[in-house]
Chains A and B, each alone.
Chain A
Amino acid sequence: MADTTLLVGDNPFHNISHLSQERTRLKEKNAITPEKAADLISIAIKNGADGFMFSVSETTLSILKKLKEKGQTDELSLHAIVPYAYEYVKLATQVGGISGLARKVGARILVSGSLKGIATGAIGILRMEPFTILKTYLTYEVSRIRSAAGKTMHLECVFLHEVITDLALALNMEWLFKSHIAVSQKLGTSPGFNTCNFPYLMSKLREWNLDSCDISVAAPFNKIGFQMSPSKNECEKTLQSLDKRILVAISIMAAGYLKPREALEYVRALPNVKGIAIGVSSETQAQETFKTAQQIGNSFRSDHLK
């Protein structure tokens, strides 16, 4: 049984709870600052975490900058999710829909000074070429991350957010999956797909002959089957059937519904898991959760060797 990468998740840093918004509001006054988040990540790393999984936003980029300033980030493995869907949906609402959103994002890329991205994209954008637009956008996001993180952190994987992955899956957009794989490799990162439809995605990747590519899939896996479509049983069966480790398990505590130990015991017993993301919002949690994850991992590993 190979080592599983343990990642600090970013939901608490965005003050997001998928259990209830009411809980989020109660915590609003004590929202975690980028400084505090960077401290929590550092504590988690000292207790067994290997990296940070985050949606790319001003908040998480500030956290990366703080981590860089603190100099506690040697070989920290970064797993980014793009786009930060909440921010883009809100922006679309404010600017009057998708065409307004496209103009805003285009303007951001222009003013970002991501010259490589702009040069790559100018002609393709004018021609409305989806591949070039995706490439320009990913180049922009990767350059933001690398600029904030510096050279000591390693951008391991860039996941397409579940809203994009699942929409592309639903609309059978094979080209988008192929393009993301191709662009990510050019940018020196591993391609990833975040989905709530793990079995459906794996079946489509097989159909498109993409299942042998070196990709990662971030999908909810938890003891109660929360957000595991079509069902917990189907997700587990698909995972079991894989011949390699591609899964980064997310939502393992089902948005705070489960306690860390029971959540970790479930997910540590699953096959083909290459990574686990867990959110923490206090020093105690950062210490205990990742220690527990390591202990449970070690015990499964020794059982496996026996």
Chain B
Amino acid sequence: MNGPLPRPRQFAGQPAAPGVALGRIIELQIDGAKERSSGARPAAQIDEAIAEAVRQLHELMARAMPEARKILEFQVEFLGDPVLLEPAQEALARGADFEAAWCAAIDAQIADFESSSDDYFRHRTADLRDMRSRVLAALGGGDLAPLHLPAGAILLADDLEPSRFLATQWRSDHAIVLRGGSPTAHVALLARAHRVPMVVGVGEISVSGACTALVDGSRGMLVLEPDAEQVAQFASTRAQLEADHAHAAAAAARPALTANGERVNVLLNIASLEELDAIDPAICDGVGLVRSELLFAHGPSDEETQLRFYQRILQWAHGRPVIVRTLDAGGDKPMRGITIDGETNPFLGVRGVRLSLAAPDVFKVQLRALLRAALAGNLRIMLPMITAAEEVERVRALLDEAAAELAARGVSFARPPLGIMVEVPAAALALDTFDIDFASIGSNDLLQYTMAAARDNAAVTALSNPRHPGFVVLLQAIVRAAAQRNVSLSLCGDLAAQSQHVDLLLAAGLRSLSMPAAAVGPVKSAIAAWSPAAHGG
């Protein structure tokens, strides 16, 4: 505290992920011994270590967002290529140990990419170093250790492995400074996705002791031992960022009440687990739509992977209802190996539940995972593209089979409520013929099928008007039929996220809307401004 204040030292790097942070520099110390002590027995072969590394990568992939999954998939494919190990076999034949042989193989690749004149290929060396560390750790019987950073830590490192980034628990007051690296490196992409401020390419800086630092990821600046003026400037920048954030959060946190005090259910649409971390469950009354398509993006996931995905969302929802839509492939969502190629009109073809019923073995894996997940919370199963009542009955029969299979395996499960998406006009007009527990209007498809106007065709966009009297009458009919049958009803299409159309939906009698988290604030404001008297509802 006494003595002369250290002079601030400022370094210009490249902005890699926006945001600001003030904290203490923590230098990345990779402790090889520690990494080796964390896992199972040491691998007896390089092949075994690679298989273990691939298994660990798959584990990270299961809870990663799509971009991160693609980054890790590259590593999985690269490690799975026998060509990679050719130099290792030669080294082993010369008497090298496993570690030296593995390093010979991967270092040859690193050197090859480093020599490239193309930035893009040079930056892939970070991914190769990641594989190098992970396999070395596996050879010692361990895992690539996640970092345990204290609050307010600013991580300083030469570079950071993408998979280590993904294994680390990042806090909102953390930041990353890399001496090397690049804004186009995979780890920079991950930092942006996880909102960790990051500056790269600050060059050879050395830090002694616990040094305070200020990071501005938007400007690519690092200040060591900032002075009072710089700290004040930082505080005002952060205050502005926080105010913006708080403003949006306050709008979202309000209860959804109409001007005359009527409560409206606000539900969320969720497609990936990573979205959950950034959302306070208190802003919503549940999840109105879990899209399960991600689980099938690389071919169908197995039952355990699906189970973990659903369980995680149920845990996050903490007792609030969670409506999971079964695989909705086809139409505007073609999937390699799942949907049927060459249909003349995929929107009127084998899509949604039609596809699931055509591949009952794949479908039953999802149904079993859902039955098991139902023990973890308030789960509901929703079927997309239902047209006829017998489709629901066929799914119910498959649910019976799935339940019997689980019972035969001695696995516990619960039978969740079963509902449908209302997106085919015929189903909308005959809602009372369905034996269901709930229904949710899929406004995108219902609108395009009702208006005969493709939503991906700009030339007919003007016709996709939800205020067309025909569509309004249809909405009212659905609300009426659901009320008569005592079936709970919500709407989960894009329409629910458009605050300018909230009055239309409330006037039609809807009191439950499901939308992306970003729309919650504006939609709640629109709900608060609405009353039946003022809007003729």
B partners with A: no
